[in-house]
Amino acid sequence: MRIIIVGDGKVTYHLIKNFIAKGYEVSIINDNKEYCDYIASKTNALVIKGDGTNPYFLDQAGANKADIILALTNNDPNNLFICQEAKNYFEIPKTFSVLNNPDNEEIFKQLGVETVFNTTKLISILIEQRVEVSNVSNLISIEEGRLNISQIVLQEDSPIIGKSLREIDLPHDIVFGCIIRDDQVLIPKGDTKLLAGDKTLIITLPEKQAEAFEVLIGE
């Protein structure tokens, strides 16, 4: 696999080392001579000193044969331009970009950047996955946070205790995945009654989580 990285900093350095250790061919483009010299002395990457938004330097980095490009600068417009050049001019199949301003995410996606790393959102997701609030745990987020799987442990005061699934007024965008009861996994059906102590796994859109929690735990 051939990878081009445009960027600098410690994260970029460690990415280069990691990719090379896995046997990938890595090119790095950066306009800082000191950084280029450092990378050249520490890794086997092809180091190109220049402006990553310039097609000439992308070509020097082997863009015609690259499989992936990572735009990791601290300038969102530059990252967007790099990805568009890579995709439209060099036909690099996969484009990845870090996003410094979360408000730019939709623009990047609309303009064809395949994968956007919204650092603000990713950090938020990681924190939520590791923080348990009362009887609610965020287990995993899928598709960069566009779908959540959560576990809710039903307490005695839950408004749905003793009710069957068909009696619960769940919003349409919320799916009951399963119920874990006394170490048994139950696939819920319409007549399945909810009991105190049940661990319920629900699948929701992030914007629907609050509605799900209100129905299931009353808050």
pLDDT of residue 55: 94
Q: What is the pTM of this model?
A: 0.59
pLDDT of residue 139: 57
Superfamily of domain 2-122: NAD(P)-binding Rossmann-like Domain (3.40.50.720)
End-to-end CA distance of the chain: give it in Å, rounded. 49
pLDDT of residue 91: 92
Question: Domain limits of the chain?
Answer: 2-122, 131-217
pLDDT of residue 166: 84
Tokens of 145: 């946070």
Identify the bridge partners of residue 46 per DSSP, sorted by sequence position.
27
Superfamily of domain 131-217: Regulator of K+ conductance, C-terminal domain (3.30.70.1450)
CA dist 70 and 86 (Å) reads: 10
Per-residue tens of pLDDT for the chain, all 219 residues: 999 999 988 888 988 998 999 899 999 999 999 999 999 999 999 999 999 999 999 999 999 999 999 999 988 899 999 999 998 889 999 898 888 787 877 888 787 787 777 666 665 655 555 554 556 666 566 655 567 778 888 888 888 898 888 888 777 777 878 888 887 888 888 888 889 888 888 888 777 777 877 888 776
